[in-house]
A and B are shown apart, each in its own frame.
Chain A
């Protein structure tokens, strides 16, 4: 198979970028999308050109590193997959393929197709934790959880933090990511002590990072490689509004230090 690749090239953050055209020839249909880019990079290196910078790590769809907008869709045209799970047989011979980085002011381009997603880490740091005591560990499964609740929490916990939701959202919103991270803890008994403080802190951090707002397009759900439902956004909205409207509680109570 032969393809024409239209790839976004950019020196670094802040510098302007532009599309470059590359031709790749005799590509096996069984080759993965990232392997096809590897081959292109080898050719570029051999001919003394700068290879195309792109992110990848596990190449089995679980790490969330690969991040390409292919023909206008994050992770390409196949639903429920990451870029590394995309194969050249999913494209037609002779096709021009446009490859762009995630576009978001919160995810600045580092080089070519690589973006800095540490904004997600800071959202996570703001509240994505639970309190555990430091003594001997309790017996696993000592807290009974309804299977439906456990399943729902696991559905949210499937999020690999790839950022496709932000890339897909016309508003560059991180609502699906934040709501998945908020919900998988808020659903479980272990996450209850920080439930309302967590949603407030994570939403505030999300807004500080410069992500947009939700307009209920559901593009994020369609682009999510883990097919996380936008129901978690509604859940987060509910918890956030509850947290915002109720009387704030001082967790220290009367136990202020003397």
Chain B
């Protein structure tokens, strides 16, 4: 434990924590987007969208071994801890970095640094704000509490993205920011953990690019599909309520 604490005190250790928590969040994002794609699957039974079934599964995961919702809460807590560590370490590092270059250059020409790398703090801050908004919209339903129905995932998506165009546009833009952040982060984490090698680097760069593009395309496909009007209308709210009672 004392060794982990001393690791946290060093900048190299903080970078390693940022990298490991970044990996945890990337794994979560991949699982999240796979779940999102269930919005495109046909209803397993009439009037019950597949993504609603998945949402109920997430809550009943681990039962009867674990209490209802325990597994989901465990994942939520792990993700919150990872996010908190990621943000705290980055903020501490940013302060150290700022102190290391108190007087900026009058003229500066960058050769290697990508825009994605140089804007990590900005993209990270936007993503943090987006995450707060996203949870308020689709987890607690605070953003549009009059029309939000807990458990009716498909209907909530339909209302948000089909009926309010600003949400669809905002989400696609936010996914663009996410892709920029992941493009640098998913490569950079290998160096922070010491797994980069010159012969591996082109592969690692390609992996980061593919991951960034893949997350952007798959995450954006849901709001874009609902916005385009090609998605079927959700089952009426009575049926939704019945499903909720049954679940």
- Name A residues whose Cβ lies closer than 8 Å to a Cβ of B: 6, 8, 19, 69, 71-73, 77, 79, 98, 100, 103-106, 170-173, 203-204, 207, 210-219, 221-223, 229-231, 233-241, 244-245, 248
Contacts and interface: CB of A to CB of B under 8 A. Distances in A.
A86 B240 CA distance: 74
Interface of A is mostly: mixed
Contact of A245 (B3, B101, B104): B3
A119 to B, nearest CB: 11
B198 A219 contact: no
Contacts of B108: 72
| Top 9 A-B residue pairs of the complex, sorted by shortest distance between their CB atoms | A238-B194, A172-B100, A212-B100, A171-B97, A222-B111, A72-B109, A217-B113, A213-B11, A237-B194
Interface stretch (B42-50, B61-69, B169-177, B184-192): B184-192
Contacts, number: 138
B195 A203 contact: no
Contacts of B10: 203-204, 207, 240, 244
Nearest to A242: B194
B100 A231 contact: no
Contacts of A106: 100
A170 B112 contact: no
Interface string B108-119: 111111000110
Given A215-B117, A216-B188, A237 B12 contact: yes
A210 B3 contact: no
B120 interface: yes
Given A105-B102, A223-B111, A244-B6, A234 B194 contact: yes
B96 interface: yes
Contacts of A229: 198
A135 B151 CA distance: 79
A73 B196 contact: no
A8 to B, nearest CB: 8
B100 A104 contact: yes
B195 A238 contact: yes
Contact of A69 (B11, B16, B97, B105): B105
Nearest to B188: A216
A53 B16 CA distance: 41
Nearest to B194: A238
A204 B3 CA distance: 14
B100 A73 contact: no
B64 to A, nearest CB: 38
15 contacts: A6-B106, A71-B107, A203-B10, A212-B11, A213-B11, A219-B113, A229-B198, A230-B191, A230-B196, A234-B194, A236-B12, A237-B16, A237-B192, A237-B193, A241-B194
B99 interface: yes
A212 B10 CA distance: 11
B197 interface: yes
Contacts of B14: 213
A231 B107 contact: no
Given A106-B100, A240-B12, A100 B105 contact: yes
Q: Which size bracket describes the interface of B in this complex?
A: 35 or more
A170 to B, nearest CB: 7
Contacts of A238: 193-195
Contact of B15 (A218, A219, A237, A244): A237
A216 B192 contact: yes
A239 B197 CA distance: 14
Given A72-B108, A218-B112, A241-B16, A104 B101 contact: yes
B191 A216 contact: yes
A31 B118 CA distance: 36
Contact of B110 (A212, A219, A233): A219
Contacts of B234: none
Interface string B182-214: 001001101111111110000000000000000
B208 to A, nearest CB: 11
Given A171-B97, A237-B16, A216 B111 contact: no
Given A211-B100, A234-B196, A98 B106 contact: yes
A218 B106 CA distance: 21
A103 B98 CA distance: 12
A73 B117 contact: no
Which of A212, A213, A218, A221 has the most chain B CB within a 10 Å cutoff? A213
B124 to A, nearest CB: 12
Contacts of B192: 214, 216, 237
B47 to A, nearest CB: 50
B107 A170 contact: no
Contacts of A73: 109, 111
Contacts of B191: 214, 216, 230, 233-234, 237
